[in-house]
Amino acid sequence: MAQALQIDWLGRVAYGEALRRQQELLEARRAGACGDRLLLLEHPPVVTLGRAARAEHLLTPRAALAARGVEVHEVARGGDVTWHGPGQLVGYTIVDLAARGLADAHAFLRAIEDTLIAALGALSVAAEALAGTTGVFAAGSRPPRKLASIGLGLRGWVTWHGFALNVTTDPAAFGDIVPCGLHHVAMSSVARELGAAPGAALFERARGAVASAFAERLG
């Protein structure tokens, strides 16, 4: 049976620790020992390689990244290469699709896109999804300016991994990679789209908007 979505704010968490926590919750959800969860957090700088990652999309050698304190993790989610770091709101979804009557992971992925678009609308940022491409983009932007990336994993019809929304992130932080393997896309952020100075207040507003949108959609 589907349960109300529990949303937890974890603060800034190392990627390995967040991955361990996801795996624990994933197994607990599969066993029926907990309900659906959304973990909201930030990461220190880290590059993650999904199942479809191509070596040439990592532009900076791993040794050079390590020298700067940037970890690299190969993970069991969909998608290519992405970056996480300060100013980016990351959400990990531990959700039982079967209990919610969802037919497949693609339907849930589209639901995440729609929910992030609603959250961005609450922040006065017009956003859209693009056919044939996963993620959320500034509405009408050409070339597309990407605001959020999504990559899901699935085990026994329970999802893990999730999304990353650039709130106050400097888009230059993505310079070590070809984000999501998309050469034709520019990275952007909520702050840049609003023409606002990055800061803690904007990040808190974005966190509240995302939590409210997911509570309304999945709560």
Measured distance CA(219)–CA(4) in Å, rounded: 5
Cis peptide before 143 (omega within 30 of 0): yes
Count of Cβ atoms closer than 10 Å to residue 215 Cβ: 15
Which domains does the chain possess? 6-218 (3.30.930.10)
Q: What is the 3-state secondary structure (H, E, C) of 55-72?
A: HHHECCCHHHHHHCCCEE
Measured distance CA(87)–CA(77) in Å, rounded: 22
3-class SS at 121?
helix
Look at the pTM and tell me if it is higher than 0.85. Answer: yes
Give, in order, the Cα–Cα distances in Å from 13 to each of 19, 21, 110, 164: 10, 10, 27, 14
Measured distance CA(92)–CA(76) in Å, rounded: 13
Which among 180, 202, 210, 218 is annotated as catalytic?
A: 180
Q: Would you report the helix, strand and coil content of the chain in percent, each value rounded to 5?
A: 35, 30, 35
The yes-or-no answer on residue 180 being catalytic is yes
- Range with the lowest mean pLDDT among 23-27, 196-200, 210-214? 196-200
Condensed to tens digits (0 to 9), the pLDDT of residues 137-187 reads 999 999 999 999 999 999 989 999 999 999 999 999 999 999 888 888 999
Condensed to tens digits (0 to 9), the pLDDT of residues 116-138 reads 999 999 999 999 999 999 999 99
Among the listed residues 97, 71, 102, the one whose alpha carbon sits nearest the alpha carbon of residue 176: 71
